[in-house]
């Protein structure tokens, strides 16, 4: 029986060692879980700090780009205003420019030609009036001298001539 008690003692000691080993493994597992939790928390903090740093850097770069854009836009708007003033000045100068010498000479020649044609037209009108009066005067003198009384058609076309009052056509 000795071997049985020894075996039972050995088993009890082995069981106790196993329990101690299990407790040590559980303690070690818990310590490992705690260490991993701490490491996870540390990594999350590092990640959040990195994200915050990148976000702040991005924000500052975006603000710098926006400021540069606004500065360029202001500059371009100034240039646009300046170019509009230059265009307005050039349009004013173009509208109020002096005539070229060739153009002035041509205008003067055309005006001289126009005056000459107006003079010729006035002379033709006066000559026509003179000849008309001369013809009327000669016709009156001829009619007085030879006693004729011709019937002339009137130049007034607004008065209609009635067909019954018109003399019948003469046949030859």
Residue 1 has pLDDT above 50, yes or no: no
How far apart CA 134 and CA 129 sit, in angstroms, is 8
Cα of 88 vs its chain's centroid, Å: 17
Render pLDDT for 18-44 as a digit per residue (tens, 0 to 9). 999 999 999 999 999 999 999 999 999
pTM given for the model = 0.39
- List phi, psi (to 5°) of 82: -65, -45
Render pLDDT for 116-127 as a digit per residue (tens, 0 to 9). 999 999 999 999
């Amino acid at each position: 029986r000795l071997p049985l008690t020894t075996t039972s003692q050995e088993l009890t000691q082995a069981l106790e060692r196993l329990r101690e080993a299990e407790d040590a493994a559980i303690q070690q597992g818990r310590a490992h879980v705690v260490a991993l939790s701490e490491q996870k928390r540390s990594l999350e903090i590092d990640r959040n700090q990195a994200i915050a740093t990148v976000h702040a850097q991005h924000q500052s770069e975006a603000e710098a780009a926006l400021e540069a854009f606004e500065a360029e836009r202001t500059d371009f708007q100034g240039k646009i205003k300046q170019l509009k003033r230059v265009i307005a000045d050039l349009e004013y100068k173009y509208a109020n420019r002096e005539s070229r010498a060739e153009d002035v000479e041509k205008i003067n020649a055309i005006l001289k030609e126009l005056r000459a044609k107006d003079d010729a037209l006035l002379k033709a009108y006066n000559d026509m009036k003179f000849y008309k009066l001369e013809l009327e005067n000669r016709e009156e003198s001829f009619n007085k001298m030879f006693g004729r009384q011709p019937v002339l058609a009137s130049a007034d076309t607004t008065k209609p001539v009635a067909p019954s009052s018109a003399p019948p056509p003469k046949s030859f």
